[in-house]
Amino acid sequence: MASALETIEEHRSHGGVQGVYRHASRSTATEMIFSVFVPEHEEGVALPVLWFLSGLTCTHANVTEKGEYRAACAEHGVIFVAPDTSPRGEDVPDHEAYDFGQGAGFYVDATEAPWAGHFHMRSYIEHELPALIGAHFPADMQRQAITGHSMGGHGALTIGLRNPGRFRSISAFSPIVSPLNCPWGDKALGGYLGSDRGIWREYDACALIEDGARVENLLVDQGTADNFLEEQLKTELLARACDAAEISAEIRMQEGYDHSYYFISSFLAEHVGWHARHLRS
């Protein structure tokens, strides 16, 4: 049963409504905040849903304020949902590093103390929040797509690959494609899940593909000037995994773009249109 929803703010934009909402989450045992843009539509019409998962240190606000997606969502009739990246609050464990703890949930269900009590972002994104969106918004939950940036690109890829048939298309900006093979992954998955790297495989896009997961419609944009590309993101590993599995992925190296929202906002409207084509089919 979906929980009650509190409206924090709503604004008219591009003919639709951009809102920010709060609810008490069972998954994280905290209050969670997320944003939703609902385009103008006829009464009784259910619209497809595009999820955007944000990266390290971000909240819902980063893409909501910087993403430049609303005009495209209004044009194509797509609801845009932007969750937070982790549970938050005074009683929630945290870490002094920017890439672990609050703001860095990595879209996993933590099993290690002290994180296991609250850090269940996998369950929150895969189950709890979709039920809430379906109950409170004019959403057609049979037509969903997912995208994300950096840590959120990792989330979009792994959630999409683990849930075949739920998402008609998956895209990502500068994703962490293989946490098994980068320092961010070592810290996050080791801290949240423990030392058994076999368990980590269900949170690694390349490993999921190697283990048989498949996707029909995949688009990845990666900037060539991204300072995290070689050490953390390693886009070439995803390209190799897709080639080996004969997945027809569109992986684009965008010349001169970095890891920032200047990059995301340059291509996010294009991603919305790409997802919309698959959501209409």
Which member of 60, 118, 149, 259 is catalytic? 259
Spatial CA neighbour of 156 closest among 247, 35, 51, 86: 51
Known catalytic residue at 99:
no
Q: How far apart, in whole angstroms, are the C-alpha atoms of residue 155 and residue 152?
A: 5
Tell me the DSSP string of 61-114.
HHHHHH---HHHHHHHT-EEEEE-SS--STTS---SSTTSBTTB-TT-B--STT
Q: Is the dihedral of CA 269, 274, 279, 281 positive or negative?
A: positive
Ranges assigned E (strand) in the chain: 6-13, 16-24, 31-38, 47-53, 79-83, 139-148, 167-173, 218-223, 250-254
Cα 184 from chain centroid (whole Å): 17
Q: How is residue 196 annotated by DSSP?
A: -
Comparing C-alpha atoms, which of 185, 184, 248, 258 is closest to residue 221? Answer: 258
Q: Is 226 a catalytic residue?
A: yes
Catalytic residue among 149, 226, 271, 278: 226
* 3 state SS of 275: helix
Q: Is 109 a catalytic residue?
A: no
Catalytic residue among 25, 54, 86, 150, which?
Answer: 150
Residues marked as catalytic: 150, 226, 259
